[in-house]
């Protein structure tokens, strides 16, 4: 039987080129068309000087033939047409590849485990998925696609140049080779610098994200100076990386130009000598010079392509690392359904000797064993940091126990299909998470089954109906980034509404009324009591909830120190007594 969660994705063994090949799926037809058309452009261009040579020679003899002129005109116009078609197909293929890349990245990030997400920085990942994928797009358009055409053009031009005057060609090659050697030498450094640049972009995004996410705290504590310096530091690193790349790139282009200019001078001088000796015609020299002129394009383009490819390979390398992220596996395991009631049924949920550590060696939960029966209302209490939320996270399978087992309906949850397992639970988290978007998005989470009436009914239940009726506010009003336009209590009530809409039979509530006023809190508690047949697990500091619970679990420093009813625990558990006695709230 295969384990479902915590599947370590194979560290990517494919080369960047294999990775790119996978990305081209769906765009290969367009790419092929772009390549063929770019080859077409090159071939047409190669023949232009040959025709020009005829025209010039005919003109110097006193009569230009109409068909020679027509052929020249057709070749020039044809080359432009084919070029524009080629760049169209190249463009749409590159867009398609960018889309595949974006979808692949978002899929990877969505399926990564929470443990992996804890290790990564969201702003850095954001920078990767935007700037790196733009770089990859640039590599295809400005690097890979022009390369083949340029090579064909280079070979074709070289062939005709040799045919026309092998000696002149020797002179040309000598000067041009010098330029190429320089480009190759610099290329490796370009790749390294590009990677540094992308990393610096990521670090800058992280600093900006930190600043924007904590703007209120920064202003309230007058910490602008520190924050400005922090962002400034990253900006300087980014600037340095950019400057290095600019230096390298600006060196490559002029170096190539210089070589080409040198080649022009050398060809004109040597050509003039050969003209005076009568070994070359004026048409031949002009055609040769035109070839040399045409040679500038593929050489410059190859130089540019080479740097673009090096930069792109750097970005691809970073993107490929995302494939190595530890990911959840939704494809394995048994489907979970609501088990029918059985006589002497197993507990609904059971922890058996569960140990868990976020950091190896420092366990957060220690040897926890507990049972929760179907339909029970269970409260989890304990001091702040004792491990209550961690318990909920293990039930949600955001993390796996290091030792011990968790069972649902008597089955080890590691072997249950993750999607249908999670569908059994509805979570109201400690913060009342609101997604950036509308109220409707937040309630339905893409589930189209909920009718408009049901949405209104639930909004009524959690006391949000008056908010929606107010002013311009509708179900489709944008709530701002993570619900910034709402109060903390309103955000928590949205989380409640979401949980009430779900079909789950087990509610996981992590301090679900922490942000609610006493009136709403009482209303919500009544709501929970009225949820017939549902099992409710509530982490709470509130005495009222605890006294009404069927069973209370007391956690202390990661250990389950007591489980029982409020009355039993008051008399038997000193930890519980200490938590319960200070006042109406079970605060730490």
Residue 245 CA to residue 527 CA, distance in Å, equals 62
- Residue 403 φ/ψ, nearest 5 degrees: -140, 160
Which of Mg ion, ligand ATP, none interacts with 364 (beta carbon under 5 to 8 A by kind)? ligand ATP
DSSP letters for 436-449 = SSBHHHHHHTT-TT
- Residue 162 φ/ψ, nearest 5 degrees: -60, -45
Query: Which of 327, 390, 545, 575 is close enough to bind ligand ATP by CB under 6 A?
Result: 390
Residue 231 CA to residue 207 CA, distance in Å, equals 5
For ligand ATP, the binding residues in 525-584 under the rule CB under 6 A are none
> What is the smallest separation between the CB atom of 430 and ligand ATP, expressed in angstroms?
6
Q: What is the 3-class SS of 109-171, one letter each residue?
A: HHHECHHHHHHCCHHHHHHHHHHHHHHHHHHHHHHHHHHHHHHHHHHHHHHHHHHHCHHHHHH
Query: Which of 382, 401, 489, 512 is close enough to bind ligand ATP by CB under 6 A?
Result: 382
587 near ligand ATP, rule: CB under 6 A: no
Q: Per-residue contact track with ligand ATP, 338 to 367, x per CB under 6 A?
A: --------------------x-----x---
Task: Choose between 445 and 588: whose C-beta lies nearer to ligand ATP.
Answer: 588
Which of Mg ion, ligand ATP, none interacts with 444 (beta carbon under 5 to 8 A by kind)? none
Which listed range, 200-208, 334-342, 346-354, 380-388, lies at the site for ligand ATP (CB under 6 A)?
Answer: 380-388
Query: Which of 385, 469, 518, 574 is close enough to bind ligand ATP by CB under 6 A?
Result: 385
Which listed range, 193-201, 320-328, 377-385, 418-426, lies at the site for ligand ATP (CB under 6 A)?
Answer: 377-385
466 near ligand ATP, rule: CB under 6 A: no
**Dmax (CA) of the chain:** 120
Which run of H or E residues covers position 588? Answer: none
Residue 409 CA to residue 337 CA, distance in Å, equals 10
For Mg ion, the binding residues in 388-417 under the rule CB under 5 A are 389
Which of Mg ion, ligand ATP, none interacts with 502 (beta carbon under 5 to 8 A by kind)? none
Closest-approach residue to Mg ion (CB): 389
Which run of H or E residues covers position 553? Answer: strand 551-556
Contacts 24+ apart (CB under 8 A), 415-418: 415/1, 415/2, 415/3, 415/4, 415/333, 415/334, 416/4, 416/333, 416/334, 416/335, 416/336, 417/4, 417/330, 417/332, 417/333, 417/334, 417/335, 417/336, 418/4, 418/5, 418/328, 418/329, 418/330, 418/333
> What is the smallest separation between the CB atom of 392 and ligand ATP, expressed in angstroms?
8
Q: Per-residue contact track with Mg ion, 364 to 393, x per CB under 5 A?
A: -------------------------x----
Q: Count residues contacting ligand ATP (CB under 6 A)?
A: 12
Which listed range, 275-283, 379-387, 460-468, 559-567, lies at the site for ligand ATP (CB under 6 A)?
Answer: 379-387
Task: Choose between 147 and 390: whose C-beta lies nearer to ligand ATP.
Answer: 390
389 near ligand ATP, rule: CB under 6 A: yes
3-state secondary structure of 368: strand
Query: Which of 387, 432, 463, 512 is close enough to bind ligand ATP by CB under 6 A?
Result: 387
384 near ligand ATP, rule: CB under 6 A: yes
- Residue 479 φ/ψ, nearest 5 degrees: -90, 0
Query: Which of 118, 345, 476, 478 is close enough to bind ligand ATP by CB under 6 A?
Result: 118
Task: Choose between 297 and 389: whose C-beta lies nearer to Mg ion.
Answer: 389
Task: Choose between 244 and 389: whose C-beta lies nearer to Mg ion.
Answer: 389
Task: Choose between 116 and 234: whose C-beta lies nearer to ligand ATP.
Answer: 116
388 near ligand ATP, rule: CB under 6 A: yes
Token pair 């107010």 is found at 470
| Among candidate residues 533, 537, 476, 549, the one with its CA nearest the CA of residue 507 | 537
Residue 309 CA to residue 307 CA, distance in Å, equals 5
> What is the smallest separation between the CB atom of 230 and Mg ion, expressed in angstroms?
29
> What is the smallest separation between the CB atom of 479 and Mg ion, expressed in angstroms?
24
214 near Mg ion, rule: CB under 5 A: no
Helices (H), 214-223: 215-220
User: What would the two tokens of residue 87 be?
Assistant: 């760049």
Q: Count residues contacting Mg ion (CB under 5 A)?
A: 1
Q: What is the 3-class SS of 228-292, one letter each residue?
A: HHHHHHHHHHHHHHHHHHHHHHHHHHHHHHHHHHHHHHHHHHHHHHHHHHCCCCHHHHHHHHHHH
489 near ligand ATP, rule: CB under 6 A: no
Residues near ligand ATP, by CB under 6 A:
118, 358, 364, 382, 384-390, 430
Residues that bind Mg ion (CB under 5 A): 389
């Amino acid at each position: 039987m295969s384990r479902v969660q915590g599947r370590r994705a194979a560290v990517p063994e494919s080369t960047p080129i294999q990775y790119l090949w996978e990305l081209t799926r769906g765009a290969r037809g367009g790419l092929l068309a772009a390549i063929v058309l770019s080859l077409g452009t090159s071939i047409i261009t190669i023949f232009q000087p040959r025709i020009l040579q005829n025209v010039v020679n005919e003109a110097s003899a006193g009569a230009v033939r109409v068909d020679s002129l027509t052929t020249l005109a057709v070749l020039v116009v044809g080359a432009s047409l084919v070029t524009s078609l080629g760049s169209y197909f190249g463009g749409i293929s590159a867009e398609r590849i960018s889309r595949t890349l974006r979808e692949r990245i978002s899929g990877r990030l969505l399926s990564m485990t929470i443990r992996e997400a804890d290790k990564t920085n969201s702003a850095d990942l954001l920078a990767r998925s935007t700037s790196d994928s733009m770089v990859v797009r640039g590599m295809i358009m400005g690097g890979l696609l022009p390369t083949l055409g340029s090579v064909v053009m280079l070979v074709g031009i070289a062939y005709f140049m040799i045919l026309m005057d092998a000696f002149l060609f020797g002179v040309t090659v000598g000067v041009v080779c010098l330029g190429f050697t320089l480009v190759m030498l610099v290329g490796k450094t370009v790749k390294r610098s590009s990677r540094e640049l992308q990393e610096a972009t990521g670090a800058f995004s992280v600093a900006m994200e930190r600043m924007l996410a904590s703007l209120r705290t920064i202003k309230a504590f007058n910490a602008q100076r520190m924050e400005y310096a922090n962002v400034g530091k990253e900006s300087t690193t980014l600037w340095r990386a950019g400057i290095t790349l600019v230096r390298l790139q600006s060196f490559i282009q002029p170096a190539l130009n210089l070589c080409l200019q040198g080649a022009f001078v050398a060809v004109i001088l040597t050509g003039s000598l050969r003209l005076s000796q009568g070994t070359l015609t004026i048409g031949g020299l002009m055609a040769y010079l035109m070839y040399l002129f045409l040679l500038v394009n593929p050489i410059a383009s190859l130089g540019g392509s080479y740097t673009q490819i090096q930069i792109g390979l750097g970005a691809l390398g970073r993107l490929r690392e995302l494939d190595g992220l530890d990911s959840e596996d939704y494809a394995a395991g048994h489907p979970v359904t609501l088990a029918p009631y059985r006589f002497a049924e197993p507990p609904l949920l059971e922890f058996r000797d569960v140990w868990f550590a976020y950091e190896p060696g420092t366990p957060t939960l220690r040897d926890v064993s507990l049972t929760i029966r179907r339909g029970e209302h269970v409260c989890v209490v304990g001091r702040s940091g004792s491990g209550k939320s961690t318990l909920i996270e293990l039930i949600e399978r955001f993390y796996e126990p290091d030792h011990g087992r968790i069972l649902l309906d008597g089955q080890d949850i590691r072997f249950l299909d993750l999607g249908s397992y999670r569908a059994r639970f509805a979570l109201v988290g400690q913060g009342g998470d609101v997604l950036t978007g509308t109220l409707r998005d937040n309630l339905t989470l893409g589930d189209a089954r909920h009718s408009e009436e049901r949405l209104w009914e639930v909004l009524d239940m959690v006391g949000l109906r008056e908010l929606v009726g107010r002013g311009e506010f509708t179900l489709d009003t944008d709530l701002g980034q993570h619900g910034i336009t709402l109060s903390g209590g309103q955000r928590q009530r949205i989380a409640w509404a979401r949980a009430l809409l779900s079909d789950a039979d087990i509610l996981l509530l992590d301090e679900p009324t922490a942000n609610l006023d006493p009136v709403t809190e009482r209303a919500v508690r009544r709501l929970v009591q009225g949820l017939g047949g549902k099992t409710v697990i509530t982490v709470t500091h509130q005495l009222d909830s605890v006294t009404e619970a069927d069973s209370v679990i007391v956690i202390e420093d990661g250990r389950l120190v007591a489980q029982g009813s409020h009355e039993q625990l008051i008399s038997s558990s000193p930890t519980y007594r200490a938590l319960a006695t200070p006042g109406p709230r079970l605060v730490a």
